[in-house]
Structure 1
Amino acid sequence: MTLDDNPRGVQAIAISSAFSGVALAVILMRLYTRLFIVHCAGVEDYFVTFAMMCSMGLTVTIAIQAMCGMGQHFAELKSDNMQHSLEAFYASLLVYNLSLGLIKTSILLQYRRVFTTRRFQVVCWLVLTAVVIHTTWSVLGSILACLPVRAFWTKETPAKCIDQFSMWFTNAGINITTDFIIILLPIPVIKSLNLAKRQKLALMGIFAVGGL
C-alpha cells in the first residue's frame, strides 16, 4: 500500500511532523540558551530532551502505521498490513506515555528550581510523585497489555488482554487532570509576589502560553 491511496494517513504524518518540528525547534533554542548563554543546564533539561526523543519516536511510529494502512477502512486492509500497523501502534503507546511523563517531570523540576517556598516545594513533590507513579503504571500497562505480549498485534488465542479502552480512557483522564494541576500550580505563588499588577499578569500570561 502506498500513501497515495491513504490521504488520512498523509494528514496524520503531516500534522504530527509539523508539531514535532515546532517542538524540536523550541527545545534546541532552550538547550542552546541553557548550555551556551547562561551556562546553567539543569536536570530538567535532560528530561525534556529525552521527552523530545520519545516524541520524535512517536512521529515515526505514526508514519509506519500510516504506511501500513492507518486511515484506511478496516475491510480494505490485508492481514499483514494490519499486524505491522498494530506492532507500530504498540511501540507508539510506549513512547507516547513515556514522553508525557518525562515532559511533566521536566516542568515540575523546573518549578522546584524557580519557586522555593516550602509549601510549594511540598506540593510540587506530591504532584511529581503522582506523575512518576502514573507514568510507570501507563508504560508497564502498555508493555503488558496482553500476555503473551505478541497477542497485542497477532490477536492470537488463547491470550489474556487487559480492557484496553478502559485503560486508555483512564490514562487520558489522569493525564488531563495532572495537566491542569501543573498549569495552575504556580498561579497562587505568582499572585503572592511583591510585584506590580501588570508584571503579575505578564508572568501569568507566560505560564498560560506554556499551558497552551
Structure 2
Amino acid sequence: MEVGPRNAVDLWANESRGLAISISGLVIATLSVILRFVARMKNGCNFGADDWMIVPSLLCYYAFSITAIWGATKGGLGIDFALLPPPQAIATGKGSYIMPIFSVPTISFAKLSIICLYHRVFATRRFRMWNLIVGASVVAWMIACLFATILHCIPPRALWDPSIKGKCINFTLFFQFIEPINCFQDIVIALMPLGVVKRLHLNRKQKVSLCLIFILGGLVAVISLIRIVIISNPAASPVEIYTSSEWLTAQLWMAILCANLLTYRSLVQNALPSRLRSWWTGSIPVSGPYEMWTKCRGNNRGKNTSEDEMLDPLHFKG
C-alpha cells in the first residue's frame, strides 16, 4: 500500500524536522562534552569518574541519533504503520526497536556523571550515602529498562514483520510505568544539593545563585513530563507519537548538557557578559574556606567536615 498524498506530506515534514532536531542535538551534545574536558585541562585538573561517565552517554547518544536519522530517512516515522509500504514499515519497526536500547544508557550515564560529580564535590557522609542510594536506583532503572526493551517482543523481529507471530509487551503501559521513575530521579538529583547549600555560610545571593545552577539539571524532568503527557493520551495520532520521539531526542542532549554545566565555571569567567558572569561565578566564594575554588588539589573524601567544608571546590572549578 502506498502512502497517500497527505501522509506523504506529513512524512516529508516529519523527516525534515526530525533530521534538523537530530543533527542539532548531536552538535550541542558533542560541544558540551568537549567544553567539559577543555575546562578540566585548562585548570590542570585530573579527570574523574564524573568526566568518564559522560563519554559512554555521548557514544550511546551518537548511536541513538544515527538510528533516528536512518529511521527518518528510510522509514516512515510519524505515519500510521498500516499505511506504510513494506520497506518503510520494516525500517520504522527496526528503528523503534533500536532507539530505546541506546536512549536508556544515554540518559542513565548522564545522571551517573552528575552523581559522581556530587560525590567529589560534597564531602558530608550523609549526603554521600544518599547519593550512592540514588546512583544505585539509576543503575537498577537502566538495567531493568534495557532488559524490557531488548525483550520487548519475542522474537524481536515480530515487531516489524507482521508475518511472524510473537509475544510483545504493551510498550505504552511500560513507558507509563518507567518514565515517571526517570522523571522522579531527575527531580531528586536536581534538588539533592539544595539542603547542603542552605547550611553553607553564604549570603542569600550566593545561595540562590548556587541553587539555581543545580536546579538547571532538573530541566530534563520538564521534557520527561511532556513525553508522559503525549504518550499517555490514548487518542494520540502517529504524528503525535513521532513528536514524542523528537522530545526524546531533546531530552537526551539536554541530559548530557546539564551533566556538563557545573564544570564550566572557569570557561564562563571570560566568555559571559560581566553581569551574567558575576552571577555564575560569584555564587562560589574564592576566599576563606573556599580558597581552593581557584586551585587544583585533592578532595575531602573520608574527612569529618564542618559545614564550611562541605564543598570540595576543586571539581566545581572545572
TM-score calculated relative to the size of structure 1: 0.92
Q: What residue number does 1:6 align with?
A: 12
Separation (CA, whole Å) in 2 of partners of 1:74 and 1:61: 18
On the 8 A contact 2:15/2:72 being kept in 1, the answer is yes
In the alignment, structure 1 residue 80 sits paired with structure 2 residue 95: no
**Which letter does structure 2 place at the counterpart of 1:167?**
F
2:167 to 137, 160, 167: 160
On the 8 A contact 1:6/1:66 being kept in 2, the answer is no
2:148 to 110, 132, 141: 141
**1:1-212 pair list within 5 angstroms:** 6-67=12-73, 68-212=75-219
Sequence identity of aligned pairs in percent? 28
Cα distance, 1:134 vs structure 2: 0.7
Separation (CA, whole Å) in 2 of partners of 1:57 and 1:116: 36
Q: Which runs of 5+ in 1 are unaligned?
A: none
In angstroms, what is the RMSD of aligned CA positions?
A: 2.0
CA offset digits 1:132-165 (Å, max 9, x no partner): 0010000111011111222222244431211211
On the 8 A contact 1:50/1:99 being kept in 2, the answer is yes
On the 8 A contact 1:13/1:59 being kept in 2, the answer is no
Q: 1:72 to 1:160 in 2, by over 3 A?
A: closer
Separation (CA, whole Å) in 1 of partners of 2:168 and 2:11: 33
Separation (CA, whole Å) in 2 of partners of 1:101 and 1:63: 22
Relative contact order higher in (CA < 8 Å, ≥ 6 apart): 2
**Which letter does structure 1 place at the counterpart of 2:72?**
A
The size of the alignment, in residue pairs, is 212
CA offset digits 1:19-49 (Å, max 9, x no partner): 3311211110001222453331111111111
Mark the structure with the bigger radius of gyration.
Answer: 2
Q: Which runs of 5+ in 2 are unaligned?
A: 220-318
Moved over 4 A (4+): 1-5
Q: Which moved more, 1:139-148 or 1:75-84?
A: 75-84
Separation (CA, whole Å) in 2 of partners of 1:61 and 1:83: 13
- For the residue of structure 1 that corresponds to 2:103, the secondary structure is helix
Q: Which moved more, 1:82-91 or 1:172-181?
A: 82-91
Cα distance, 1:166 vs structure 2: 1.1
